[in-house]
Structure 1
């Protein structure tokens, strides 16, 4: 992205957040100890990172005339390969489980239909016998990628270049909805089931909106050094690791602590404090997108072999193989496939762009607003 070197710390924090989600799922879905009971809140930090990075990379280009189709193609090329690979792996596991343990699985028809939808990064919308109302049983983390893709497209079509007050209104409305949904459910672990769609919408709306808002205000933040970067990294780990099981605490972390950490990280974004942080940042997306199906496969094999692993620390040994699998998927599958897709599809999309007929301009006219290029600082 433009100015990417100025925000190296954000890559490191993305990698840390992906590790937090990995450890959380080893504890909750893989038979390991539950070390990070609030690790699911790392997803809210991902949304904040996404809002900032997308605005940094695309807002000026959109205001200069990039077509909606070009933006959408770029986002799908970036996100779909890993998402679909994770769904394929998870779908294969669910299919094997349907034959090996039919009483603990959805029906074969439900499994096949759910797998097909998930492979297309679309949610399952019915209640399964074993998976309940879970939207992405083939690969649980896809729920957040589904919401992120949707939010990316909504932003590009309607919010890019809008006034800062409009973005602040989106953040405030999302915060209010998140407060209502969280208090009603007693948790912020929302969005992964059809029954908590409103909560997932509030989480992505608030997180992505905070990232957009901080991007608008980045020029007003002081330039800070590696000490502030270290504080941001430690604070992120602290608030995600603290074992406080209370919705008011979760709300405080998401609505106050994570935005403050994000602002601090942007102010010290040029600093790099974590050895190997750049590599960890590169691995963050394949790690996030593939780890849960691989955990399920490992756990299933242990159960099939009669090994009892509930709460056992040895489950944490999965971290290194999963990091290696993420590296292999990135190097041998994701990056080569994205390069081929970009070479195949993007030149044709870009070459046919009439700038004066940009769909973004049309959206601005429909909403009664004109371009606001002065809001984007390069």
Structure 2
């Protein structure tokens, strides 16, 4: 993480959060048991982790003169390959389903249009016969990556280096909006549909902003040891596993419990708790970015073969399979492609990609100067 092991516990927690989302989706999309009814709240923890890590890695560098274009290129290189691969797999599945079962699919033109948008990590905003208001039918988790990229760019262009008071105001406003929208929809599982689009802004605003504030406060925290680190791991699992799928509990988790876990984890960040936790942290993003389309593909193949998509608890056997797939994506696709992109986009020179990013940087620089 950001070039050192000072916060390696955060990597382990990110891996646990990715596993929670996987098990949650096995229960909702893969025919498995619903043993993590609040597993989707791991996404809010991802946003908090992101705010802290991005500030740790880039806030000082932006203050020292790093251009917006350089920042944007680094973030896109980090996130785009896996996101686009997941959308490609999911899009291929949706096209195949439209041929095999047109009555259970959107019209082909809508499928192709949605797939093209999702491949660019852009949302589908229209109502679909089969996909309803889902913004990323090709790969559901892309909704959070869309908001992640958006908040990264907004922070780098307008908020990096702003006062703590400003950040506190934005976090408080996001928390208020989150409560209002939670009451409106009776859940915090929002932001992934067009009808709850504002929920995505509230969730990423609160989560990412909380991470930024915790980064500002890191120097005030005592250095904790292995005991508190283990407690942070156990607490995160507990909050995501406890089968209490009611709004009041969800709000308590997001607004209080997850920030507390983050605070303890930052204070004891040097500790490693889980065997293989570092590898799990490395696998977290490719696992998160590809597991839903792979689940859909598996379920579709089994239905085509005349079998059920899952047999309740047996569906959890997909966990090691999808972890193996995430490892393959990481080692054979994501890391090599990111290394190639870094050489050709970030290296000095006047490549078309670099020129485009320099122009983008100038526009955002002028916009930031007016704020």
Q: TM-score, normalised by structure 1?
A: 0.93
Q: Cα offset for 1:301?
A: 1.5
Residue 164 of structure 2 is matched in structure 1 by 164
Residue 370 of structure 2 is matched in structure 1 by 366
SS in 2 for 1:243: coil
Give deviations 1:212-237, integer Å, cap 9, x for gaps: 00000000011000110100000000
SS in 2 for 1:5: coil
Distance 1:123 1:335 in 2: 26
Question: Contact 1:85 / 1:290 at 8 angstroms: preserved in 2?
Answer: yes
Give deviations 1:124-151, integer Å, cap 9, x for gaps: 0100000001000000000000000000
SS in 1 for 2:139: coil
Question: Contact 1:157 / 1:359 at 8 angstroms: preserved in 2?
Answer: no
For structure 1, the residue ranges without an aligned partner over 5 or more in a row are 368-378
Residue 84 of structure 2 is matched in structure 1 by 84
Greater mean alpha carbon deviation, residues 141-150 or residues 242-251 = 242-251
Q: Cα offset for 1:360?
A: 7.4
Distance 2:367 2:235 in 1: 40
Q: Cα offset for 1:305?
A: 1.9
Greater mean alpha carbon deviation, residues 299-308 or residues 247-256 = 299-308
Question: Contact 2:228 / 2:268 at 8 angstroms: preserved in 1?
Answer: yes
Distance 1:60 1:158 in 2: 15
Question: Contact 1:32 / 1:309 at 8 angstroms: preserved in 2?
Answer: no
Q: Cα offset for 1:300?
A: 1.2
Question: Contact 2:121 / 2:142 at 8 angstroms: preserved in 1?
Answer: yes
Distance 2:165 2:301 in 1: 53
Residue 298 of structure 1 is matched in structure 2 by 298
SS in 2 for 1:199: helix
Distance 2:243 2:367 in 1: 45
Distance 1:100 1:349 in 2: 48
Q: Cα offset for 1:348?
A: 3.3
Distance 2:121 2:57 in 1: 24
Instruction: Let me know the Cα RMSD of the aligned residues.
Output: 1.8
Residue 240 of structure 2 is matched in structure 1 by 240
SS in 1 for 2:347: helix
Say if 2:225 is the partner of 1:225.
yes
Distance 1:312 1:293 in 2: 19
Distance 1:119 1:365 in 2: 33
Q: Cα offset for 1:366?
A: 1.9
Distance 2:222 2:56 in 1: 18
SS in 1 for 2:205: helix
SS in 2 for 1:4: coil
Residue 337 of structure 2 is matched in structure 1 by 337
Q: 1:83 to 1:182 in 2, by over 3 A?
A: same
Distance 2:119 2:95 in 1: 13
Question: Contact 1:34 / 1:311 at 8 angstroms: preserved in 2?
Answer: no
Distance 1:364 1:270 in 2: 36
SS in 1 for 2:10: helix
Question: Contact 1:27 / 1:311 at 8 angstroms: preserved in 2?
Answer: no
Question: Contact 2:123 / 2:136 at 8 angstroms: preserved in 1?
Answer: yes
Distance 1:251 1:185 in 2: 13
Residue 376 of structure 1 is matched in structure 2 by none
Question: Contact 1:82 / 1:289 at 8 angstroms: preserved in 2?
Answer: yes
Residue 255 of structure 1 is matched in structure 2 by 255
Question: Contact 2:86 / 2:290 at 8 angstroms: preserved in 1?
Answer: yes
Distance 2:232 2:256 in 1: 14
Question: Contact 1:33 / 1:312 at 8 angstroms: preserved in 2?
Answer: yes
Residue 49 of structure 1 is matched in structure 2 by 49
Give deviations 1:278-305, integer Å, cap 9, x for gaps: 0000000000000000011111112222
Distance 2:128 2:206 in 1: 30
Say if 2:217 is the partner of 1:213.
no
Distance 2:47 2:289 in 1: 15
Residue 180 of structure 1 is matched in structure 2 by 180
Give deviations 1:311-348, integer Å, cap 9, x for gaps: 51111111111011100110010000000101001123
Give deviations 1:152-205, integer Å, cap 9, x for gaps: 000000110111111111110000000000011100000100111111100000
Count of residues paired in the alignment: 365
Residue 269 of structure 2 is matched in structure 1 by 269
Question: Contact 1:114 / 1:138 at 8 angstroms: preserved in 2?
Answer: yes
Q: TM-score, normalised by structure 2?
A: 0.95
Question: Contact 2:300 / 2:309 at 8 angstroms: preserved in 1?
Answer: no
